Amino acid sequence: MLSVAGLEVVIFQLWISRQTRKYPPFLMMVLGTLFFMAGFAMIGFVQRAEFFLLSVITITLGEMIMFPTNKALAINFSPADMRGRYMAVYDLGWTIPAMLGPAAAGLILDNFNPNLLWVIGGILCALAAAGFYAMHLWLGGQARFIPVSVEQEAYDGSGGAEA
């Protein structure tokens, strides 16, 4: 299943990245999070290998939409002279759930129905999607979060991020 996810990334990542950069980034975060929600919640209900494989494909699709987008968002939040610091804090933010998540998952698996872990994951993804949508409504109209057209990007060489 992991090799299918890796193959999916190799085949589709560049194309997906090119497509998602055309749309508002917070809405792409909503879309990616909804794929995460569907994939993680599905694991709590399926019992056949092909459905587990479908959940892995769904989660990987969410990753391919979200991860390039959230890096670009972190850059667009930062002033040009502090991008390195913002990216460091952004990366540090991933270490906290990576540290606490396995312990929390172990507590759930040891003390409750194991399927609850995946349902909670789906609920957390739904809350995150709602939060990204709220950010789109609140901040999405700012120039730094408006997608750059491919023509404009080729013309000014900006790469989509503010200089």
Q: Is residue 5 part of a domain?
A: no
Q: Is residue 8 part of a domain?
A: no
Q: How far apart are CA 156 and CA 14, in angstroms?
A: 21
Instruction: Tell me the pTM.
Output: 0.84
Contact 132, 29 (CB under 8 A): yes
pLDDT of 105 reads 94
pLDDT of 136 reads 96
Q: Is residue 16 part of a domain?
A: no
Q: Is residue 12 part of a domain?
A: no
Q: What is the pLDDT of residues 67-95, one digit of tens each?
A: 999 998 988 888 989 999 999 999 888 89
Structural domain tally of the chain?
Answer: 1
Q: Is residue 4 part of a domain?
A: no
Q: How far apart are CA 25 and CA 130, in angstroms?
A: 14
Amino acid at residue number 65: I
* 148 or 151: which leads in pLDDT: 148
Q: Is residue 3 part of a domain?
A: no
CA distances from 83 to 56, 76, 80, 96, 162 (A): 33, 9, 6, 21, 11
Residue 90: which domain range? 21-156
**Mean pLDDT confidence for 40-51:** 90
